């Protein structure tokens, strides 16, 4: 069920509005709530490149990391981004209340510049463990979910969603949780490539 919510968010947030395309820029670490923000980056702004090709997303969080996030189950799934296509995804979720989960997606056919100019997602530039990232919230919502897209390699991104089933979390808490899971994933990913 969490994968469906994540998939709907990610597919729904990638519909491009017609209009004037904007040139890509370099992430400066500034946050902005302007949905036309440009979360593109240069290679030199990453601590190191982490290629995601062939990595199993259900191995991205270790048993200890899952415990830190209060999730107990990992289930393989598939994400789909409009304009990018399908990518491997793993749902990590709880078995008891409060019910929530994390979707960890490994997108190898499109970087975080994909989020430039989306009309129905608020994009805030941020940083996760020294990596340029984009915080993504569905426009017009304040407690549905939060995603963090991390620039890990040219044309590749780690996408981590925090998906609550209920209203126990504020939008800020959801984004903090997504960022924490992304930080943990960035610890494990280099050991998997």
- pLDDT tens profile 64-113: 999 999 999 999 999 988 888 999 999 999 988 889 999 999 999 999 99
Does residue 55 fall inside a structural domain? yes
At 92 the three-state DSSP class reads strand
Does residue 20 fall inside a structural domain? no
Burial of 80 (0-12, 13-18, 19+ CB in 10 A): middle
Tokens of residue 182, six digits: 């992304």
Does residue 139 fall inside a structural domain? yes
Segments forming the whole domain that contains residue 39 = 2-15+25-192
Does residue 103 fall inside a structural domain? yes
Does residue 188 fall inside a structural domain? yes
pLDDT-derived band at 155 (thresholds 50, 70, 90) equals very high
Number of compact structural domains in the chain: 1
pLDDT for 179 equals 98
21 pLDDT higher than 60:
no
């Amino acid at each position: 069920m969490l994968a469906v919510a994540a998939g709907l968010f990610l597919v729904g947030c990638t519909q491009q509005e017609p209009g004037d395309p904007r040139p890509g820029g370099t992430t400066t670490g500034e946050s902005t709530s302007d949905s036309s923000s440009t979360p593109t980056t240069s290679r030199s702004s990453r601590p190191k490149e982490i290629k995601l090709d062939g990595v199993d997303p259900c191995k991205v969080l270790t048993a200890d990391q899952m415990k830190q996030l209060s999730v107990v189950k990992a289930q393989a799934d598939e994400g789909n981004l409009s304009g990018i296509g399908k990518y491997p995804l793993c749902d990590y979720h709880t078995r008891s209340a409060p019910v929530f989960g994390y979707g960890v997606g490994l997108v190898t056919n499109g970087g975080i510049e994909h989020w430039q100019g989306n009309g129905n997602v608020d994009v805030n530039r941020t940083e996760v463990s020294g990596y340029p990232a984009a915080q993504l919230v569905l426009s017009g919502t304040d407690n549905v979910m939060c995603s963090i897209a991390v620039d890990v390699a040219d044309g590749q991104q780690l996408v981590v969603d925090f998906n609550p089933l209920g209203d126990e979390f504020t939008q800020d808490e959801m984004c903090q949780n997504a960022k924490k899971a992304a930080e943990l994933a960035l610890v494990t990913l280099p050991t998997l490539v």
